[in-house]
Each structure stands twice: as C-alpha cells, then as structure tokens.
Structure 1
Amino acid sequence: QDGRIVSKRRVGCFAYSIVGEELKISSQYESLKKMRSWGFKVPDYSVISGSLSDVFNYLDKWDKDRFNLPYEIDGIVIKVNSFDHQFNLGYTAKAPRWAVAFKFNSEQIKTKLLSVEYQVGRTGAITPVANLKPVLLSGTTVKRASLHNSDQIKKFSLRLGDTVLIEKGGEIIPKIVSVDDNNSRVKREIIKFILQCPSCGTQLIRIKGEAQHYCPNSNFCDPQNIGKIQHFVSRKAMNIDGLGNERIALFYRQKIISNIADLYSISPESLRELDGMGDRSIKKLFDSIESSKNRPFHKVLFGLGIRHVGETVALKLTNTFKSIDEIISLNIESLISVNEIGEKIAKSIVDYFQDSDNIDVLNKLKDAGLIFSIQEKSKSVNNRLSNKKIIVTGTFSSSRDELKDKILFLGGTISSSISKNIDFIICGENPGPTKIEKANQLGLKIISEVDFYEMIQT
C-alpha cells in the first residue's frame, strides 16, 4: 500500500491488445505492431502461424525457452488473427471463441520434508503444513506447503526426511505432488495425524463426509477466538478500520478482548500503553467501532462467523426472517425450506444458537446496539429486484461492494458472465471491454450508477 516501496520494484507493463471503436486496424498482429510504434512495451515473440503444426512447434519451443525470459509466464494465448473473424466467432458465456489459453506444466523441484505443523482456523478446521528445506521455485523461495488434511498425508505415506516433489498450484500455492519412494524411507515412521488440538489440547473430531478434522472447543480455543474476531471486523462483515490481524492478536494476548462482543466495551485507557496506539489511532478505532453499529442485519449475521453461513446465505436468511430471535427459534426443517439452504447449513445454524456461550455473546452485541432485525418498511421493498440477474462492471463513486450489497438486499442476483439471460448491466468508469462488447452484441440493457439508484428509488 506504500507507493514509494512499489516504485522501487520497477514494475513493468506489457500490452497485448487494443480495445476501441473505429480503430482502423484489421488484425491482432497489426495491433501489436501499432502499440509498439506508440511506445508501449509489447513482447517481441508473437508470430503468425500458418498451420496447427506451426502452433504446436511454437508451444514446444517456449515450453523449454520460457525459463530464459526476463519475466515469468505460465502459458501462451493463441488467437484468431483477423478482427472480423473474431467478431463473427463471438463469445461463450465465459470466454471468447476466438482465443484459447495453453498452460504449461508447472515447474517442479525436489526438496526435503523437515517437519509438519498444524494450524487451527476460525471454524476449528485443522490444516497440516509441511515445513520444507528452502528451495527456489518459479521465482520465489518456498519453505512451506499445505498438506490440506490427513488424507493427503496418508496418500503419500509421508515420513520426516522424505524427498518430495513440489510445484505451485496455479503457479501460486506450493503443494507436494509426489514422494521419492526409496528403500531408506521405509525405515522411518509414517507421520501420524494429531489427535488433539495443537492449541487447546481438545480431542479432535472428524465429521462424516468431510475431509478435515476439527477442534470442537470453539469458544475456548485461542486461534479460533482470534480468527472469529478477525472475521467479524473484516470489510465484508462489520468493516472496522484500525484492527488488522496482528493488532487483534495483540489485543487478545493482552486480554483486552476475548470475543467479538468485547470490541464494544474496550476502554481508551486500556490501549494507550500499546505500541502504535496514540490518541489519533484510538479515536479512529473508536469512531469505526461506533460506525459499525449501523451495519445492516445481514452483515452482522455474516460477521458472527457461523460455519457455512457466507454472505449469500446470511442475506437469504435476513430477507426471509425479520429478526435474529426468529432465526434462533427455527428448527432444521424450517431452515431447509429456505431456497439454497441445505441440511448441512441448517444444522450448523441450529448448533450455533444452541450454544449458551454464543447466546451470551449475542446478547452483549444486542446491548451494544447492533442491528439484529429488518424493519417492516424495509421488508416491503427489499424484493424490488427479485429474479433480476445483474452484472456490475467498472469503477463507481461508491464502492463496488456497496453497490452489490444493495442489489442483493433488494433481491437481485449478481452474475459475472454475459448471457442473454442478464436483465441489465450497471456500467461504471473503465468497464471490462469484453463484457461491454458482448453485451452490445446481445442487445442487453446497460445503465449507469445514477440510473440504477434512480431506478430503485422510484
């Protein structure tokens, strides 16, 4: 977030296409030459292929030579050259018909498995993580890789000291893909997945049909409690500024907060001795905490961190039931009657509200003044966009999240793919050119941010 640091990284930008009307350019290859003449950085390696064999030869060449480039690539895009042909071919719901991406196999390297540690998530999920002998892979030093769950450990019969082959899934996340199966490794004991929570020592459980183990001590396990608070203050939940992950962990360790409700009873005096908490920071934090009391019901419900209750489910619930008390009173059958809520989600909701500790926290949040109901006047208009499929593209005077929240609150559905089933597109500045081009081809309605707000107010 510091522009001075970013400027030192000498970030480069390569141009690959021109978008616009009346370009007076007839082909992809011509557009590359034009951009190069304008002074843009354009790769010098593009070619026009006359046959499929030329294409395959080109792919084979760069599968080997890509490691000599001054930047990293993970594949090659093959495009129809003629713009007229591109226009006639058009688009599917998700991609142009005139282009295809060929992905190279991920770079792989061998290293040594040194140890396995276990992380506890906010829902109690236990994730094993492999600590590796550091190696350079796809431009970064890799020393850790997720093992996901106990099944992954069993799959490879992992042992400490194993030589493992790793790659980056999607060129981003390191993962183990195989193990050197040599005679010496059979002398070492296979790693056994832990039976107790590494933080609180509680016996782990594994729910039938799920891959992960869980710590059931949800209200008295430190990593879970810290994770819940981090989730609660996040931008998509209560949007409390001034509380990053490290600061929340610090507040928790200092016993300033122990659960989400404690955020609303913090005293300024308890913060003054902490590093980085001057008067200005404290005021900003308290202003943001106060402002969070105006967050709508569905944001608060999402912020509670009920397992399987994401943003969409929280909105479905608050659009169907008018208060938290009504939701608390529901049984599994009543919850399943709501569209898109299945038995697993319903059971998770019922279990959450049957926990007396959760109810105590909830009552404290009510006393703090958070919104736990939808006013009847709001309920009467919150289906104004019911059954409407809407796409949001570009930048807006308000944030995209606020705009999407409004659409969802009014009963609309947000889509990311252009199709004839879209009711309208809300278009801001610098929209996705491909979406607008296809929307025009399909004759879809395109409106501005101002048009949208006028629409929902009439």
Structure 2
Amino acid sequence: MGTTPDDAFEKLRHLRPMLSLANAFDRDDVIAFDRRVRGLLGLEEGSQPNHGKGLREEAELSYCAELKFDGLAVNLQYHDGQLKAAATRGDGSEGENVLANIRTIRNLPLRLLVQPVPAVIEIRGEVLMFREDFDRLNESQRALGEQVFANPRNAAAGSLRQMDPRVTASRPLRFMAYGIGELQARPLADTHSGCLAWLDAAGFSVDSRRRRCQSIDELMAFYEEIARQRDSLPFDIDGLVYKVDSLSWQEQLGSIARSPRFAIAHKFPAQEMVTELLAIDLQVGRTGAVTPVARLKPVQVGGVQVTNATLHNQDEIARKDLRVGDLVIVRRAGDVIPEVVSVLEPVARVRAAAFEFPSHCPSCGSPLFREPGEAVWRCQAQWACEAQKRQRLIHFASRKALDIEGLGEKIIQELLVHQLIDDPSDFYGLNGASLKPLPRMGAKRIEQLLCAIEASKHRPLSRLLFGLGIRHVGEEVARVLAQDKKTLTGLRETCWTDPEVMLPDGVGIEIANSLQTFFEHPGHQRMLDRFELWWAAAGNSKQDAQPAVISVLVPEQSDLLKGVDEAAIQDWGDGSLSRDLLPLLDQQLPQALVQGLCIVITGSFKDLSRDDLAEFLRRRGARVLSSVSRNTDLLILGENAGSKLVKAQALGIKLIELKLPAA
C-alpha cells in the first residue's frame, strides 16, 4: 500500500520507481496475464518471438508466487552495506523520509550481513504488524484511555509515520522484504527466487510461504491453499503476487507507465457483511454531481466500521433495486471503499417504495441536468448553489490546491454563515476585524490564518487553476495549461472558437468546452479579475520562466531587503552578525513572507550558520527541507551554492540570494 507524500515529512526520491501492480480477481484474469507474458516473450505458437529478436534460450517459464502483505510499502537504501535512507512508497517516484523511524524496527538489519556488499542497493518491503502484537497494542491503548486502531494495517502505517521516533520504537512493527530496486553491483542471482534467498542471508525477514509454479493450475492450487490458511496466518494478507522468476525475462518484459509487465497481484475477494439500509441521502459535489449515499446500520467490514457507502448514481440504485429497510450485502471494494453489493435474498415481503431520484437540486432547488451518455445528474447553478459553493471553497484551500493551512471545513462553514465569503477571492479580503467575531478565533489564530492566506498567493499558477475546481481540469491538466499559457491573463484571452489551435496537446475539446464555460461565465469575472491582479503582484505571472535571483542584503544599518514590502521593514539596530542576527531577521522577515512555504537552504553564510537560519525559518512557519524537488517554493542561496541551485533553476523555483555584509 502506498500513500501520497505528506508535508509533515521531508520528501525522498527513490533511485528506481516503486511501481504498483495490476490486479487479477479470478482465474480468467490470471490466464490473460500468462498469455500476455508468453506472447511478449515469444513462447506461444504463432506469436512474434521477442519482438522479432529471436526466441530466448531460457528454461521453461516459471513464476514465483508469494504472499501479498497488507501493510505499508517502504524502500530502503543501503550504501556500502549501511542503511542510509528509507522512504514510504508515496506516489511511486518519491515518498516520505522515515529513516529515523525505520531504524527503530527490531527485525530490520542496519548493516547487511553478507559479503561482498553492493555499493548501492534498494530493498523493497512492507512494514506491518502481526495480529497478536496488534491485539496487545490495542489493549494497551484502551488501558491508557487512548484511541484504538481499526486494523493492523492502519496501526502499522500510523506507527511508522510518527513525528517522534520514540513513539515508533514503542510499537511492535516488523519489516518483511519482498524485492530489490536499484542495484549498483554485479547481479545477486539469476532469478527472483534467488534474490529472496540473498535477502534472507543478508539479514532480512523473508516469508518462506512462496512457491515456484510452472502452470496456471499450479498457481491456482497455491492460491486456494493460501486462501484456506489466510485466517490462521500471523499477519494480514490481501492476496498473492505472481512474478516471472527469470530476471533476464523480467528485464525483457519491462514495464508500462504504472506497473511492471512481469508481475500481477491476485487479490482475494473482499470480505462481505450484511447490514440494514437505513436511508438514501443525496450529496452535491463541487462540480454539481448529485451522488446518492447509503446510510447503513454500523457494521465491521475488514476491521473497519462502515456507516456509509456510495451508491454512485440513479441507474445503480435501480439496477440493484435498493430500498430503505432492506438487508444489504456490503463490502469494501479493493479493501478500501465501502460499497453496497446487492439486496440480501430473499427480500422481505413488505418493502418500502422504490427510491425516486429528484428532478431538482436538494441544496438549491435548481433543475438537475444529465448529459447524453452520462449516468450522473448535475446541478448547473455553480456558485449559486450553497452545497457546491461550500465544496468548492474547501477544495480551493485543500493541500493539493492552494494549501491554506488552518482553513478547514469548520472555519469555511463559519465564514459562510457570517456571510464573509462568497467565492475563493473573498479569502484574500479577510482581516483581523472581520475574523474576530468568529467562535474560537483568538489573536494568534487570526494571525496564523491571515499569514497562511497571504502565503498562498505565492503558489504556482497550476495550483490556482486546479483550486478553481473547473470541471475536467485535474492536477496534470492544470500543469499543462500553466506551462503553456504562463499567466491567468493568457488563459482568459485564449480564443475559444478554435481550441485545437490555441490550447496545448493533451487538452481536448471536452476540456476546452469546460474551460470556455468557466472563463466566460458572467458570475466568475469579478473573481478572475482579482486573482489576475494578485497572482501578477505576487510574482507568479511568469512562473514557468527561468527564475531570477533576488539579492537580499542583510545590512549594517541600511540597504533594506529588496522586493519586500517597505511597511514590513524597520531599522536593524545594533548587534553582532552571528546568532544575535536572528532577532533582527525576525523583525525584518515577517511571518507572512515565509509562513507555509517549503524552503531549501544552500551554500554558506558569513557569521550565520545554516542551522540558525533554518531554526529561524521554522519558527516563522516555514518547512525547511534538505533537498530540492517540485514541492519546493523557495531556495535561499549563500556563497558557493552547488547542485541544488542548478536543479532549482531547472524546476523554475524562486531564488533568493542572502548576502551578509563584511564584519
């Protein structure tokens, strides 16, 4: 299992991507996988051998079948035999740096126990918690009056991602190795099975319940055998993984965008439980989609209490003939998302009336509309619909959009109730006087919120476009548009009569129509005018151009910060330019300038240590990272800046050169 990298941890890029696996759910899926593998390798009669390169002279095709652990996937880096880095899977390219926590896991070797050791090697595996250990942990949590965990997977993930490694050390975590990523050494073995044996010898825990299979029948027999043993295993699994055993054939098969061609996950059927359908409610999303939701009598499914489940759309309710009061079968699709499978047979003789989907929006009363070929009914009132407005405002402030820390659902609801906001641009007109009447809004919280709102003006244009919630414009499309048009003005001035000419590759007619509808809507012009002004003033109008270096001189008495609002600048006063400089920096760099930004420091500073500068920035609400990535907002340059500067320039990250005067 992977997670999107969290801003609480520094990011760490994997040397080789951690791809996800395609899924198989039955024998036919496994047969199709085997047929694809044999076809690509030229092992089937009538296929093109090895894409015309000739049939490989290898042994008969065999698979290594192994258990699929239900935990948190991690990637370890060993340099010259020593554990030097560890990260969660994250998005497959980079994850969260959890080295300090990983080092506390008792069954994980900090030094490889074999000779010779590779110069660099990535070890892939799963952090999990055995069932007995999980039960004891929850007993301890109850005794202390603390929250218990829903299942071992959640307990393992939550324990590994603690900010305090001492908490992780107190939890009974284990690491189970299942593969190798980057290898800077001679091959360790000819087969995946051989690599697992090497991992065992190197000191890693490797589950022995694996089998080399040479036919579909052997794979299915092993699958059924493990399925029978599943409940008696010491840890949770959610299926099996089949990998082509030959490493040379693995290399030949390669990968597609997100998954390798040489492996597949054969998932177990999701656990199903019976409960009562108490009601069918309707939710209006930020794009106007009206989604029916089943309210269920609470039931435990796969270790998680389920009370709600999406019913998708009107057609799905009709197809399953779901009615309030029915006993229904519920499962978690992919062991994650709750869904109603069907009504329990036989149904009760006396049933409630069939559910009637409304013709008008349950929030604002506007007529609902369904486009030809679509299953979803939509409200087209946009910002005039209170439900859409609320969801759009929440989305705008969310982490992947403008990332306004402290601006959550509850505060947004209070702002709406007090009629302080009507669209996202109103966030930027808030002040201390308007926020003070809100409940639980003291001076400190108001200051933090206003600083976070101000800091959000420095987000890239792509984040603003994504935050506006335009239909069909996700993160990737927003990035493409921002890179092509550079400014909000450029996008607004696009000639919508010929979108194929005016828009970049990857933006089709459906997206173009959605953009045209949004940008030409009369009710959006005030909001767009304000954003256009603010984003240009914040320096984001040329976000994809090569960034200029802003020289910031820390003066003796004058030459104040260039590019900083004069109102934020006061006299520096006396004091040495060592640690005593920090109070002066504290006066000259208000929290609003760094709050919420991800900052990297490179180079050296006369009479000012990087640790002191980092401490200062953290105290003012910034996150100081050790490496430059796409998530970096600002790079502060000292003397002798190195490779971080080159990478930041390539990524278009803003640069500030901090210069200290001669003593």
TM-score under structure 2 length normalisation: 0.53
Q: Percent identity?
A: 33
Q: C-alpha displacement at 1:352, in angstroms?
A: 2.1
Query: 2:296 aligned to 132, 143, 168, which one?
Result: 132
Query: 1:303 aligned to 449, 452, 467, which one?
Result: 467
Change (3 A) 1:294 1:18: closer
2:433 counterpart of 1:269: yes
Query: 1:398 aligned to 620, 625, 628, which one?
Result: 628
Provide the secondary structure at the position in 2 that maps to 1:256: coil
Q: C-alpha displacement at 1:193, in angstroms?
A: 1.3
**Who wins on radius of gyration, i.e. which is larger?**
2
Structure 2 residue aligned with 1:436: none
Q: C-alpha displacement at 1:110, in angstroms?
A: 2.5
Structure 2 residue aligned with 1:17: 179
Change (3 A) 1:24 1:321: closer
Q: C-alpha displacement at 1:159, in angstroms?
A: 1.2
Q: C-alpha displacement at 1:257, in angstroms?
A: 2.6
Structure 2 residue aligned with 1:155: 319
Q: C-alpha displacement at 1:263, in angstroms?
A: 0.8
- 8 Å contact from structure 2 (residues 244, 250) kept in 1: yes
- 8 Å contact from structure 1 (residues 295, 371) kept in 2: no
CA distance in 2, matches of 1:36, 1:103: 26
- 8 Å contact from structure 2 (residues 291, 311) kept in 1: yes
| Corresponding letter in the other structure for 2:362 | P
2:533 counterpart of 1:371: no
Provide the secondary structure at the position in 2 that maps to 1:16: strand
Structure 1 residue aligned with 2:153: none
Map 1:29-428 onto structure 2 (within 5 A).
29=193, 31-33=195-197, 35-36=199-200, 40-49=204-213, 53-81=217-245, 83=247, 86=250, 89-94=252-257, 95-182=259-346, 184=348, 187-272=351-436, 274=438, 277-321=441-485, 323-325=487-489, 327-330=491-494, 332-337=496-501, 338=503, 339-366=505-532, 369-371=534-536, 397-402=627-632
Count of matched residue positions in the alignment of Structure 1 and Structure 2:
400
Deviation sequence 1:96-134 (CA, Å, 0-9, x none): 454332222222223221111111111111111111222
Once the two structures are overlaid, the 10-residue window that deviates more, 278-287 or 224-233, is 278-287
- 8 Å contact from structure 1 (residues 78, 99) kept in 2: yes
- 8 Å contact from structure 1 (residues 80, 99) kept in 2: yes
Change (3 A) 1:293 1:55: closer
Unpaired segments ≥5 residues, structure 2: 1-160, 548-624, 634-642, 653-663
CA distance in 1, matches of 2:428, 2:187: 58
CA distance in 1, matches of 2:484, 2:245: 51
Change (3 A) 1:77 1:378: closer
CA RMSD of aligned residues (A): 3.6
Q: C-alpha displacement at 1:328, in angstroms?
A: 3.6
As a proportion of its length, which structure holds more strand?
Answer: 2
Provide the secondary structure at the position in 2 that maps to 1:116: strand
CA distance in 2, matches of 1:364, 1:128: 36
- 8 Å contact from structure 1 (residues 300, 371) kept in 2: no
Q: C-alpha displacement at 1:283, in angstroms?
A: 2.5
Change (3 A) 1:69 1:275: farther
- 8 Å contact from structure 2 (residues 394, 412) kept in 1: yes
| Corresponding letter in the other structure for 1:351 | T
Unpaired segments ≥5 residues, structure 1: 383-394, 404-447
Q: C-alpha displacement at 1:351, in angstroms?
A: 2.3
Deviation sequence 1:246-292 (CA, Å, 0-9, x none): 33233333433332111111122343455654443332322222222
Deviation sequence 1:37-86 (CA, Å, 0-9, x none): 66544334224447654432211111222133343222111234455665
Once the two structures are overlaid, the 10-residue window that deviates more, 358-367 or 205-214, is 358-367
Once the two structures are overlaid, the 10-residue window that deviates more, 291-300 or 255-264, is 291-300
- 8 Å contact from structure 1 (residues 324, 373) kept in 2: no
Provide the secondary structure at the position in 2 that maps to 1:17: strand
CA distance in 2, matches of 1:364, 1:456: 27
Q: C-alpha displacement at 1:152, in angstroms?
A: 0.8
- 8 Å contact from structure 1 (residues 195, 204) kept in 2: yes
CA distance in 1, matches of 2:414, 2:208: 51
Structure 2 residue aligned with 1:445: none
- 8 Å contact from structure 2 (residues 431, 450) kept in 1: no
Change (3 A) 1:375 1:160: closer
- 8 Å contact from structure 1 (residues 113, 133) kept in 2: yes
As a proportion of its length, which structure holds more helix?
Answer: 1
